[in-house]
Chains A and B, each alone.
Chain A
């Protein structure tokens, strides 16, 4: 896509050398939406009708079959994708042009959008569905209709994109190759650890009768690991910082002669001199507030 979906602005001339393709991103988002809605419809159709007794043949047919298919397919797809990204890594990453680097930052951001989208469906929608399931029925197995979707389908899907974003960044973007992004690691590893924490959760539910109080401390492992999603802000900050450096380099070709490149505010600011600049941003004493400068304390 060359940005046609965006609102067109008057007098915009986009340089020919920079373009990004959003087709795969759009396809992934649509496919995931269809997949998640289909999973929810499957729960609606066969959750209570076929999923109440783990020892029944219909449970085996409708739910265990799904479980046996989704695990190898989803994890297998993940391993294939991560291997592909690694094996096709840019082996001369230090000579990447600003255009290519900016393009890859866009693609990394798209990886993160898809990852966030999957986190939403998992942490909010299907986790909520798991709650309503346990408020309604008594579990006789860790493999309930809600768990088979939540823990063994939606979590592998977000792992696919979380780990994929990490491998993509490390193999294609110089800054993420020279050093490990601490916040990217936290944003991926934290939600990943929800999967092993599942062992603790199921162990507790197997031996303690918690009356399914949803805010039971048994669930707080998920909470703490979910906090790691905050670290995505750090990744976005890293992208924004480099974005600000790359944009002038990539788009300097179309800087001259464009009507919207004229900047009366900047021109007036530069002409007025330091004294007028200081006067313009002199702190007001009406409320005693400070001017916007530096970080709040």
Chain B
């Protein structure tokens, strides 16, 4: 009788002397695929990865652009009140759905990271090719936000807890909450106060004044209103915490949508259609 230690030894490339490969053949062997099947299976993997990266990169970018794009496009729109709130709430949607698709169907805890990475790459391609090369907006004005830190935390939560509800509560909250601090290091210089015409403004505001959007020069960030007037203090964390709270629910909602979208559902065709397409009625029935 084989012991469990033998199974572990057989499954371990380090212990298994029969498979001293350098190209992942042990994995293929464990999968039970024949050599020809493994070759075409790998080609199929390449095609699927190409489809996933391009379609979700495009769809996520379109989604973020048209729901909260203004806050992402300009540094002077990255305020303390709305930017830390609306960006993660929009950004979590597709990563949460991808997390469900990858995890439930393939046990791959990478969905959120894939989504956030695809979004960042797609955004930077647009920033460079369109915003800089075509219209000359400086990068300092158009630096995009990133959600990689939150996505990694969300995937890590899923690995540890293996449960969508707790991933929503802990990982979803972390996604929203760390958005502000994880972007702060890149944006801190733009929050320095400067005096402009006798009033206090931020460096980001000055960039907005200097490089106006020529279609509508009045297109400036929505000036925040409130009573906590400290310059870049606790109000940012209040926004971050509120974003985390909403992200909890948004994650669960989009996890469910991801599960729905990955259903392999066929609706039955009528016999007329089937026979018209080449299936004989006896087979069709």
- Chain A interface residues toward B at CB < 8 A: 3, 6-7, 9-15, 18, 20, 40, 43-44, 47, 89-94, 106, 109-110, 112-113, 115-117, 119-125, 127-129, 131-138, 170-171, 174-183, 186, 211-215, 219-220, 222-223, 226-227, 229-234, 236-238, 241, 243, 247-248, 250-252, 254-255, 258, 260-269, 271-273, 276, 279-280, 287, 289-290, 292, 295-297
Tell me which of A115, A120, A251, A279 has the highest count of chain B C-beta atoms within 10 A of its own C-beta.
A120
CA distance A178 to B274 in the complex (A): 6
Can you report 13 A-B residue pairs in the complex whose CB atoms are below 8 A from each other?
A: A20-B40, A109-B44, A109-B47, A109-B48, A125-B58, A128-B126, A213-B70, A215-B68, A251-B36, A268-B6, A276-B7, A289-B161, A296-B103
Which 7 A/B pairs are nearest by Cβ-Cβ distance? Answer: A179-B266, A128-B126, A116-B55, A120-B58, A123-B58, A123-B62, A229-B59
Q: A241-B264, A260-B35 are in contact. Are A215 and B66 (CB under 8 A)?
A: yes
CB-based contact B160/A287 at 8 Å:
yes
CA distance A219 to B62 in the complex (A): 10
In angstroms, how far is the closest chain B Cβ from the Cβ of A2?
Answer: 9
User: Which A residues are in CB contact (< 8 Å) with B134?
Assistant: 43-44, 47, 129, 132
In angstroms, how far is the closest chain A Cβ from the Cβ of B128?
Answer: 10
CB-based contact A124/B57 at 8 Å:
yes
CA distance A30 to B78 in the complex (A): 38
In angstroms, how far is the closest chain B Cβ from the Cβ of A123?
Answer: 4
Task: Verify if B200 is at the interface (C-beta below 8 Å from A).
Answer: no
In angstroms, how far is the closest chain A Cβ from the Cβ of B242?
Answer: 19
Task: Verify if B14 is at the interface (C-beta below 8 Å from A).
Answer: no
Partner of B277 from the list A7, A116, A177, A254 (CB cut-off 8 Å) is: A177
CB-based contact A260/B29 at 8 Å:
yes
Interface class of chain A by DSSP: helix
In this complex, what residue of A is CB-closest to B86? A215
User: Which A residues are in CB contact (< 8 Å) with B258?
Assistant: 230, 233
Partner of B1 from the list A132, A248, A276 (CB cut-off 8 Å) is: A276
Task: Verify if B246 is at the interface (C-beta below 8 Å from A).
Answer: no
CA distance A39 to B267 in the complex (A): 39
CB-based contact B1/A273 at 8 Å:
yes
CA distance A215 to B68 in the complex (A): 5
CB-based contact B7/A268 at 8 Å:
yes
Task: Verify if B140 is at the interface (C-beta below 8 Å from A).
Answer: no
Partner of B63 from the list A15, A135, A226 (CB cut-off 8 Å) is: A226
In angstroms, how far is the closest chain A Cβ from the Cβ of B224?
Answer: 17
Task: Verify if B207 is at the interface (C-beta below 8 Å from A).
Answer: no
Q: A94-B279, A127-B62, A215-B70 are in contact. Are A254 and B264 (CB under 8 A)?
A: no
In angstroms, how far is the closest chain A Cβ from the Cβ of B108?
Answer: 12
Q: A110-B47, A296-B164, A297-B164 are in contact. Are A272 and B3 (CB under 8 A)?
A: yes
Task: Verify if B272 is at the interface (C-beta below 8 Å from A).
Answer: no
B47-71 contact mask (Cβ, 8 Å, vs A): 1 or 0: 1101110111111011101111111
B219-236 contact mask (Cβ, 8 Å, vs A): 1 or 0: 100000000000000000
CB-based contact A261/B261 at 8 Å:
no
CB-based contact A6/B43 at 8 Å:
yes
User: Which B residues are in CB contact (< 8 Å) with A220?
Assistant: 66-67
CB-based contact B216/A289 at 8 Å:
no
User: Which A residues are in CB contact (< 8 Å) with B274?
Assistant: 177-178
Task: Verify if B197 is at the interface (C-beta below 8 Å from A).
Answer: no
Interface stretch, picked from B16-24, B171-179, B186-194, is B16-24
Chain B positions 98-124 with a Cβ under 8 Å from a chain A Cβ: 101, 103-105, 107, 122-123
CA distance A229 to B37 in the complex (A): 29
CA distance A179 to B273 in the complex (A): 9
CB-based contact A247/B162 at 8 Å:
no
CB-based contact A182/B135 at 8 Å:
no
CB-based contact B133/A265 at 8 Å:
no
CA distance A91 to B44 in the complex (A): 27
Task: Verify if B263 is at the interface (C-beta below 8 Å from A).
Answer: yes
CB-based contact B7/A7 at 8 Å:
no
CA distance A229 to B262 in the complex (A): 11
CB-based contact A223/B263 at 8 Å:
no
Task: Verify if B218 is at the interface (C-beta below 8 Å from A).
Answer: yes
User: Which B residues are in CB contact (< 8 Å) with A269?
Assistant: 7, 10
CB-based contact B54/A211 at 8 Å:
no
Q: A132-B130, A251-B37, A271-B1 are in contact. Are A183 and B263 (CB under 8 A)?
A: yes
5 further contact pairs, Cβ within 8 A, besides A251-B34, A262-B18, A268-B2: A115-B51, A125-B130, A132-B130, A264-B18, A296-B163
